Amino acid sequence: MVDKKSEVTRRKFLKGGTIAAGAAAATLAAPNIANAAPTVLKVQAAWGGGIFLENAKSYVDRVHAMAGKDLKIDLLSVNSVVKTSQMQDAVHRGVLDGAHYVPAYWYSKSKAASLFGTGPCFGWSAQELLGWIHYGGGMELFNELMGSLGLNLVSFFNSAMPAQPLGWFKEEIKDASQMKGLKYRTVGLAADVLLEMGMSVVQLPGGEIQPAMKSGLIDAAEFNNPTSDKDFGMQDVSKHYHLASFHQSQEAFEITFNKKKYDSLSAEHQAILKHASEAENSNFYWHNTLRYADDLISLKEKSGVNVYRTPESVMAEQLKAWDIVVDRISGEDPFFAKVVDSQKAYAKKVMGYLLLNQPDYGLAYKHYFG
């Protein structure tokens, strides 16, 4: 006969032993989990500082917030590993895992690249450009372009930018004839358009614009927005700043990754890289618009800059130049024509609704603020 007290003690011992054994097994397995090294992606930005590098960091912060310790992005500033013009090739070859830039920076490979960031305006803004990329067939066309160029890349687009100013001049521009012969800085397909308008175009990185204008290498220039222009010190080389233009009326950031590296990530990490891009799209608009507005006021009130709205006659000439450039390249490149046709179809439908539905916000603004 087994003593009941001994039996209870034996059961407690066996139970405790089982728990202890399980705990020991867990302890042995735990270090493999806890010490697992995070995946680190080396991503270079095209920006050495300023608001665009802040935007790149904001995207990285969103990735880190969602991925925790498992996925990290090592964000490198401009020229850390390669020059801006070499970034796409570096990502393609795996020298970099990713890059944060704009499509105009690899425009030399294909003029169709510019259609995904600095293309013609079909009455739409950068918000609708991104709508076309995500829901109007643009992403499929972009991937087709990647395939035709043999590029080992996966890209995400975000941060719909306001129309870029016409830029900085030595005098107020009242007529398109004043622009003929001027040495002007821009990038991408806009260069072809302004050449068509009689300008002499120089393509320079952002950091070289102000020194080039100061030395007389160029007569006029644009970069992107009042904040970046102020940071570059454009107010020190010109007091005539023209806002509104069709030369780059819609643009967005491109975040690109080496496709082999991207495909090696878990489905969760792939989703994080994608959805962090979409989240940053909203943050960019909320964050940057206020900064641009504040810095435009500063340029006027503290630096004595004369700010003008570009005359509609000048913008009408830009549209005529766009027609000539688009028709010429479409005749040379069937894929370019295919992308343009897709964009036009989307813009006609979506802007047909938006322009009919949107009230005249300018009317309301004048009502309250004069």
The per-residue pLDDT for range 324-343, each reduced to its tens digit, is 999 999 999 999 999 999 99
Percentages (nearest 5) of helix, strand, coil residues in the chain? 60, 15, 25
Task: Report how far residue 351's alpha carbon sits from residue 199's, in angstroms, rounded to the nearest whole number.
Answer: 31
4 assigned to some structural domain:
no
Phi-psi group of 160: left, alpha or beta (phi > 0 → left; psi -120 to 50 → alpha; rest → beta): beta
Per residue in 226-258, is it b (16+ CB within 10 Å) or e — as a string? bbbbbbbebbebbbbbbbbbbbbbbbbbbbbbb
91 plus 239 within the same structural domain: no
Maximum CA extent, the chain: 114
Q: Please name the residue that has the structure tokens 């920076």.
A: 105
194 plus 65 within the same structural domain: no
Which CATH number belongs to the domain containing residue 98 in this structure?
A: 3.40.190.170
33 assigned to some structural domain:
no
The predicted pLDDT at position 204 comes to 83
104 plus 54 within the same structural domain: yes
124 assigned to some structural domain:
yes
Distances, alpha carbon 347 to alpha carbons 127, 201, 350, in Å = 11, 29, 5
Task: Report how far residue 76's alpha carbon sits from residue 99's, in angstroms, rounded to the nearest whole number.
Answer: 9
Secondary structure of residue 112 in the 3-state scheme = helix
91 plus 227 within the same structural domain: no
58 plus 205 within the same structural domain: no
Sheet strands (E) in the chain: 39-45, 71-76, 98-101, 153-161, 167-169, 183-185, 200-202, 220-221, 240-243, 251-258, 306-309
135 plus 271 within the same structural domain: yes
348 assigned to some structural domain:
no
236 assigned to some structural domain:
yes
65 plus 44 within the same structural domain: yes
The predicted pLDDT at position 243 comes to 98
208 plus 150 within the same structural domain: no
Range of the domain at 201: 164-248+300-332
Which residues of the chain, if any, have pLDDT below 50?
1-33
The predicted pLDDT at position 289 comes to 97
47 assigned to some structural domain:
yes
Q: Which residues, 6 or more positions from 183, have their beta carbon under 8 angstroms from its beta carbon?
A: 199, 200, 201, 202, 217, 218, 219, 220
Which CATH number belongs to the domain containing residue 230 in this structure?
A: 3.40.190.10
Q: What is the distance of C-alpha 303 from the center of its chain?
A: 29
The pair of structure tokens assigned to 346 is 């989307």
Contact 244, 218 (CB under 8 A): no
168 plus 154 within the same structural domain: no
Considering only CA atoms, which of 103, 129, 110 is closest in space to residue 342?
129
The per-residue pLDDT for range 275-296, each reduced to its tens digit, is 999 999 999 999 999 999 999 9
Q: What number of other Cβ atoms are within 10 A of residue 284's Cβ?
A: 22
344 assigned to some structural domain:
no
173 plus 80 within the same structural domain: no
